[in-house]
Structure 1
Amino acid sequence: MTDTDVVPAVPARPTRNTSGARRRAWTVTALLVVFMMVNFADKSVLGLAAESIRADLGMSASAFGLANSAFFLLFSVCGAAVGLLADRVRPKWLLLAMALLWSVAQAPLALGGGMALLVASRVLLGAAEGPAFPVAQQTAMSWFPDRARNLPGALVVLGTTLGVLLAAPGLTWVIDHHGWHSAFAAVAVAGLVWALLWVPLGGEGPYASGSTDDVRSGQGDAFEVDGTEGAARRTPYRRIIATRTWIGATAAYFGAYWITAFGLVWLPSYLHEGLGLSTAGSARVLMLVYGLNAVVVLGQAGLTGWLLRRGAPSRRARGGVGGALLLISAAACLALPGVPAGAGSVVLLVVGFGAAGAMTSIAVTTVTRLTPADRRGGALGIMNAVVTTAGLIAPTLIGRLVDAYGADGYRYAVLLTGALLLLGGTAAVTLIDPDRDARRLAG
């Protein structure tokens, strides 16, 4: 069998539980969590070193925003293309190639360079990171049936939060003591270390759409096959992306990704310049934001899993929970600009920027539930491509607002973010119903 062979999405018969297969499933999940940690450390390094880089290279806020947006120039296109490829090529090798390219992209900045090299490096890094999240989620989902996917999906999302939580103090220390070039060297080494671990330990599980190698080798008997996995094979992608569930999940995820892009690129500067916090105070607030995000992501996984086990429809367990979190985040962001700088503004900022992240996990598990196994890579990749255009737009737009209006530019950016979250939350509550749309696709 070659890597590009199309094979059955699930084993022909239900398989027995074994402790070895369960350990393998959670080992792969843990590696994917670390994969996303490295991914978001790569993304966050530019924001953490913003003041040093702008001073060293003489960049305006608009130019710095443009450099960050360059990261997303090929991000969406590659996310969709590799997502489609992941339905044909083993995700194990795609993930390995991505991690190696991350390190290659960061290496030149570790040695020096100016604005042109910075932009070129970010374009290459964005192309290599664009497919990371959907392919990582596809690989994690391949080890679990639908009823057990909430926790591993949430843990992979949690990796994005942990990456920033660890990167914020660690890379800030490196930048302060050894300069911003050394921070890029640190994340390049982290990518190489992960790749060395992934080669012997990574792989796809028994619910993979592209491989039954693990099933045939005895690694696929960890879980019982649920009846929805093999349904509606070869469903056209156009039918999947036309469903109300895919549209609602994508709209909601777009709002969550917008606030992620805002947080990675401009939140440290907003805390310092917009709210007047010291460097130490800004770091503490960032820890609170990402700490709340971690709690919400795990709490959502527990609540959603509990609702599903009690027989609640996915419309309520996923669309209802995710939509409610986005609406809470929207309310906090819309209220924030009207509150004077102080404890109240910090609370609203932490809630506004920390409550929306769980929608990322919900969007993935929702589309995975909706989509036939042999179409998941493409469906997730296309969704990710649409959603991550927020990362292309947000940094440049916010930079222009800051250049035009000074500190008030951050207030306008937060109001815009609140409006997008409000639209996304409404879409999640009103459109998401994967059980209904899965039946329609199977019909």
Structure 2
Amino acid sequence: MTAVPTMPQRPAGTARTAGSSVRAWAVTALLVVFMMVNFADKSVLGLAADEIRADLRLSATQFGLANSAFFLLFSVAAVFVGLAADRLSTKTLLLVMAVLWSVAQVPAAIGGGLAVLVVSRVLLGAAEGPAFPVAQQATLAWFPDERRNLPGALVTLGVTLGVIVSAPGLSWVIQNHGWRAALWVLAAVGLVWAVAWAALGADGRHAAGTDGVDRPVEARADVPYRRIFATRTWIGATLAYFTSYWSVALMLVWLPSYLRNALGYSAHEAGTVVVAPWAIGALALLAQAGITGRLMRRGVGSRRARGWVGGWLLAVGAACCLALPFVDGPTAKTVLVALGFGLGGSYATVAATTVAELAPPSRSGGALGAMNAVVTMAGLAAPAVVGALVDAQGTDGYQNSLLLSGLFLAVGAAASFLLVDPRRDIARLDA
């Protein structure tokens, strides 16, 4: 026999790590699309606000309440499914959610009035409530802590990309085929993603650890959820994220109407301009991930690398919103709104990676789910509050709601600067 030349061999662990890395990024890409579909679902009523109000003869308050209904079971579902994610396959949970999203679109797409629309949105909200925390958990489970900022940011980026990609197309469908046709489009897209995830999705293979090796590592000792929720880091990250989500809710529900009714944009123009804050948010997410990752690789603690960086995003967003009364003209106001909402709405990755760092691996899903439940209460309140302001004050109600958002963002910035310090609270939890 002819001898086979001996070739240098890579350590087996290296090969497994390389393969796991490819799979990790493939799963991350699927979950980016998952969040894109999620926020396309959320944004469609805002894009069709004037058409739906005219078709169903709704006041601004009624329309706001219909959008608030989306969040009625959103928070409850986030808690229960977040807790389940600590024990069940995240692949299965995400697949079930995606199928339910598509089914929930059907009643309102078929027909009916306000009652059908509300029921459909309640069901959709219940199915989508756990999406962000479970998607973050499923993604972060593939990466050690020091490598989590970029994948966490990319999954959050799916939120902004969902609106950026879908808004022009959905606006065209709404204007040319009606708002119910847009719901059918979203139902079909959700089913396509579910098929792709069933074939290609997978659960993370090393849910915790800092060594980057594709094997389980020793987990930190479990602690009761109540102790996690009592830490200043969890409270600060949750409060800051709440104020950020308030801005996100306003962008989804009322920003297209503000552009059309207060700033004078046409329906087509509003469908394009509404993308601006989401695009700024996407850039802010990537910049935050890069800055945070670089700081942490240089040994900077997550108090500054996450809490302070996130605090500055909220602080600048607050300043832009609060500056609105001091400028004139639709262009200047559009720029300030885009910057204020784009930066102010970009705290999600900071919150998720901070809580994932704080909580032991077996408590991560519950800690993230509980945070998401509290945070999304902003989505329950914001649309209704703004609807009432618009009915009471006309177009002035839009600007006053933006000023209120600016005040909330300022509070969130203070919470992020002053309360978020995972290292301090991890030491206390482990003591």
Q: Smaller-chain TM-score range?
A: over 0.9
Structure 1 residues 74-94: Cα deviation after superposition (integer angstroms, max 9, x where no partner): 000110111011111111111
2:380 to 392, 399, 420: 392
The alignment partner of 2:82 has SS state of helix
1:228 positional shift: 12
Letter of the 2:55 counterpart: D
SS in 1 for 2:347: helix
Shift of 1:110: 1.8
Residues 1:276 and 2:275 are matched in the alignment: no
Give the corresponding residue for 2:205. 206
Unaligned runs of 5+ in 1: 1-13, 210-220
Cα shift readout 1:166-195 (whole Å, capped 9, x = no counterpart): 111011111111111110000000110011
Q: 1:165 and 2:153 equivalent?
A: no
| Contact 2:146 2:210 (C-alpha < 8 Å) held by counterparts | no
> Is 1:302 matched with 2:290?
yes
Corresponding residue for 2:139? 140
Q: What SS does structure 1 have at the residue aligned with 2:344? A: coil
Deviation at 1:343, TM superposition (A): 2.5
Per the alignment, residue 337 of structure 1 pairs with 325
Residues 17 and 213 of structure 2 are in contact (CA less than 8 Å); yes or no, is this contact kept in structure 1? Answer: no
Matches for 1:3-152 after TM superposition, within 5 Å: 18-152=17-151
SS for the counterpart of 1:18 is helix
Aligned-partner Cα distance in 1 for 2:318–2:218: 38
Tell me what 2:426 maps to.
438
* 8 A Cα contact 1:230 1:372, kept in partner: no
Q: In the superposition, relative to structure 1, how do residues 310 and 148 fare at CA in structure 2: closer, same or farther (>3 Å)?
A: same
TM-score (norm 1): 0.92
1:263 aligns with 2:251: yes
Cα deviation for residue 416 of structure 1 reads 0.7
Counterpart selection for 1:381 from 366, 369, 384: 369
Give 3-state SS (helix, strand or coil) of 1:311's partner.
Answer: coil
Alpha-carbon distance between aligned partners in 2 of 1:335 and 1:226, rounded to the nearest angstrom? 49
| Residue 7 of structure 1: aligned partner | none
Q: How does 1:322-361 map to 2 (within 5 A)?
A: 322-361=310-349
Work out the CA distance in 1 between the residues paired with 2:299 and 2:152. 20
1:421-436 equivalence runs, <5 A: 421-436=409-424
Q: Give yes or no for the alignment of 1:321 onto 2:313.
A: no
Following TM superposition, by how much is the alpha carbon of 1:207 offset from its aligned partner in structure 2, in angstroms? Answer: 2.6
Residues matched between the structures, number:
420
Q: Does 1:177 align with 2:151?
A: no
**Residue type at the aligned position of 2:46:** G
Q: Distance in 2 between matches of 1:315 and 1:16?
A: 35
The whole-number CA distance in structure 2 between the counterparts of 1:201 and 1:302 is 28
Question: Is the CA contact 1:332–1:349 (under 8 Å) kept in the aligned structure 2?
Answer: yes
Matched residues, percent identical? 60
Aligned match of 1:192: 191
Structure 2 unaligned blocks of 5 or more:
1-12
Q: Is the 8 A contact 2:205 2:216 kept in 1?
A: no
- In 2, the alpha carbon distance for the partners of 1:24 and 1:228 equals 16
Task: State the one-letter code of the partner of 1:408.
Answer: D
Q: Mean alpha-carbon deviation: is it higher for 378-387 or for 354-363?
A: 354-363
- Tell me, in whole angstroms, the C-alpha distance in 1 between the residues paired with 2:64 and 2:217: 43
Do structure 1's residue 372 and structure 2's residue 371 form an aligned pair? no
Look up the SS of the partner of 1:383 in the other structure.
Answer: helix
8 Å Cα contact 2:28-2:155 kept in structure 1 = yes
**Structure 2 counterpart of 1:417:** 405
Give the TM-score normalised by structure 2: 0.94
Match of 2:349, SS? helix
**Higher radius of gyration, 1 or 2:** 2
Q: Which residue of 2 aligns with 1:214?
A: none
Shift in Å, 1:289: 1.2
- Displacement after TM superposition at 1:109 (Å): 1.8
Cα shift at 1:277 = 2.2
Contact 1:76 1:388 in 2 (8 A): yes
Instruction: Name 1:8's counterpart in structure 2.
Output: none
1:406 and 2:405 aligned: no
Opposite residue 65 of structure 2, the aligned amino acid is L
1:273, distance to aligned residue in structure 2 (A): 1.2
**Structure 1 range deviating more: 128-137 or 431-440:** 431-440
